[in-house]
Chain A
Amino acid sequence: MAYLELNNIYKTYGQGDTETEVLSNINLSIEEGEFVAIVGFTGSGKTTLVNLINGLIEPSKGEVLFKGQPVQGTSHERGVIFQNYSLLPWLTVGQNVYMAVKEAFPKKSKKELNEIVANYVEMVSLTPAINKRPKELSGGMRQRVAVARALAMKPEMIIMDEPLGALDALTRGNLQDEILNIWEQDKRTALLITNDVDEGIYMADRIIPLRPGPNATLGPEFKIDIERPRDKTELNDDANFKETRNAIIEYLMDIGNERKSEAQEAYVLPELEPKSFIGRFK
């Protein structure tokens, strides 16, 4: 039995004529301890897929099974790192993390909770900024707070929705390493949603492309057989890496082009004779 299982998931929004099917026939199974990346274009329904798995929304058809049980609402077992950080701006870094920890471990004393907060803030190296508010932090620091908040709840599975999408390339690289380190420490199951193929290959055991929506569905999976720990600079010369990367990009480009040609067919311009204005204005 897989750790997380998605069986024949369909998700539609709207009703009647305006009904659009965002996800159709999604099948996915993730084993315990695995790191899976789903790669797709922006607007292809990735966030919808994430929200289905973390329990924020329900599928229109099909079922999401977590450890064999259907997912009903959110759970502390599945930690979420949101795309746009989603930190509460009126709380400090420490308070943001504390709020999550307090909900996850309601029986612990205040002192124990504060220790957990301090540990995780230290882990993302933000201890000097623990009393700052999100507004005073850079994008990378904010995302690190979001990482600390999600991990401090000690979830069994981490779900990341384009966690590094809004960051610059250098910060992105650092945070990728940080997330990998944390993941390797206690081998939690991880699901990463991203639009960056390189990021997926660098971090994941398996990459599954998402064919863009409407009617988004998962494509064939690509196994990444590169030894961990992976080195970013060496990776560029790795034949295996290049091959996988090219295969995934080719696949994505192909479905991208397919979409484009479909779209072109849909908008055939009517044949019109331009009116002649010669001699009309005297």
Chain B
Amino acid sequence: MGLGFLGTIKDLFTGKLEKEDFISFLRKVVVPLASILLFIGLWHMGSQSLYNIEAEFKIEKALEDQGPAAAEALRECIASGESGCQPNTLPSPSQVWASYQSLLRDHNIISADKAAFIEKTAVLNEKRIAEGKEPITYTGRPSFVDQIFRSLKTVFAGFLLALLIAVPLGIFIGLSPTLKSAFNWFIQIFKPVSPVVWYLLVFMIVKTVLIDSNEDSSFTISFISVGLCSMWATLVNTAMGVSSVDKDYINVAKVLKLGSFQKIFKVVLPSSLPLIFTGLKITLSVAWMVLIAIELLAQSPGLGLFVWEEFQNGANDSNAKIIVAMFVIGIIGFLLDRLMLTIQNWVSFDKTDAI
């Protein structure tokens, strides 16, 4: 299980921890906590000093341009904490925490609003459906939590696309040296292409394909780009796993005279499963990483767009919100990675804990 450290914490609270485990407890729980505190401390001091540099610069500039009276007014304004004149720099941990809470409040307000809307339109919608018309849907602004789920949806759609393309293709390439040499240049050239270029390529194609559709194609474009961008690790790993099956297993298949279908499904695939899963794990983390950039470009709702809009917005707490999004992105990425590791350990015959 990828979340082993949770077990240690549980043992601590249920009093199951033995004395001998104390050192391992220190190492597993206390040291990470201490390093988190240290990190927050350094961040706080860093943001403080950046704040001071920015404030000094602003006051200096006011002094030069508008004279001493304006500079003094600005100094007072900054000291009073009024939002209009605050220096725009790296937010401190407390500001980020406050933004996080305000985002949650915002989410609650929007959810309540949405629920009220659904309740209000329920009767009307029933009538519209009965008449064969489209029901009225809530078109308000999505909350931060909604954006997270949109992003997850995009990433899973992209991941699924990568899985459906890369695993079968990888198996074919791994089995046939001819296909391998046919596809090798393709893989080598397209593997290092940046997400931005993939987005543009997909945009060119999807735009034309969906030319008659009135639907918003940004989701389609972004999930296809995410899939194409992230599938390479799985493709390469699957091909490698399939082509490098232990010769002993192949000999067994030959001696038992397994048919080629049986050979692939009973010997080749199970034995390459660990490598396929390593590839899928990398694919999921790459998918999550490039998602932000692609959502930003595709204007597809999600965390990437959220970050970009906050940056464009330039409001007083925008920077803090961006940092909140950064942590949320990081934590979700970490959880996705653990999820894949757990599935990998569960599926794989090789029970040694993969990292």
Contacts and interface: CB of A to CB of B under 8 A. Distances in A.
B271 A90 contact: yes
Interface string A45-84: 0000000001010000000000000000111100110101
B255 interface: yes
Interface of B: 248-249, 251-252, 254-258, 262, 266-267, 270-271, 273, 349-351
A56 B249 CA distance: 13
B255 A88 contact: no
Contacts of B248: 82, 84, 86
A76 B257 contact: yes
A56 B255 CA distance: 8
Contacts of A253: none
Nearest to B347: A90
A153 B258 CA distance: 13
A75 B257 CA distance: 7
Contacts of B249: 86, 88
Interface string A118-136: 0000000000000001010
Given A88-B270, A89-B349, A135-B351, A74 B254 contact: yes
A249 interface: no
B349 A99 contact: no
A76 B266 CA distance: 18
Given A86-B252, A89-B349, 8 more contacts: A76-B257, A82-B248, A84-B248, A88-B270, A88-B271, A90-B271, A99-B256, A153-B256
Contacts, number: 46
Contacts of A76: 257
Nearest to A89: B349
B257 A103 contact: yes
Contacts of A133: 349
30 contacts: A54-B255, A56-B251, A56-B254, A56-B255, A73-B254, A74-B257, A75-B257, A76-B257, A80-B255, A82-B248, A82-B251, A82-B252, A86-B249, A86-B252, A88-B249, A88-B266, A88-B267, A89-B349, A90-B270, A90-B271, A90-B273, A90-B349, A100-B256, A103-B256, A103-B257, A103-B258, A104-B256, A135-B349, A135-B351, A153-B256
The residue in B251, B267, B273, B350 that gathers the most chain A C-beta atoms within 10 A of its C-beta is B251
A84 B248 CA distance: 8
Contacts of B258: 103
A56 B257 CA distance: 11
Contacts of B270: 88, 90-91
Contacts of A100: 256
Interface in A88-116: 88-91, 99-100, 103-104
A99 to B, nearest CB: 7
B345 to A, nearest CB: 13
Which secondary structure dominates where chain A touches chain B? loop
Interface of A: 54, 56, 73-76, 79-80, 82, 84, 86, 88-91, 99-100, 103-104, 133, 135, 153
Contacts of A91: 270
A133 to B, nearest CB: 7
Max chain A C-beta neighbours (<10 A), residue from B256, B257, B267: B256
Most buried by A among B257, B258, B273: B257
Given A99-B266, A133-B349, A86 B251 contact: yes
B252 to A, nearest CB: 5
A74 B256 CA distance: 8
A89 B256 contact: no
A118 B349 CA distance: 23
A122 to B, nearest CB: 21
Contacts of B256: 99-100, 103-104, 153
Contacts of A89: 349-350
Contacts of A84: 248
A34 to B, nearest CB: 22
Contacts of B350: 89, 135
The 8 A-B residue pairs whose C-beta atoms are closest, nearest first, are A90-B349, A86-B248, A90-B270, A103-B256, A86-B252, A80-B255, A74-B255, A89-B349
Nearest to A101: B256
A253 to B, nearest CB: 32
A88 B252 contact: yes
Nearest to A95: B266
Contacts of A86: 248-249, 251-252
Contacts of A88: 249, 252, 266-267, 270-271
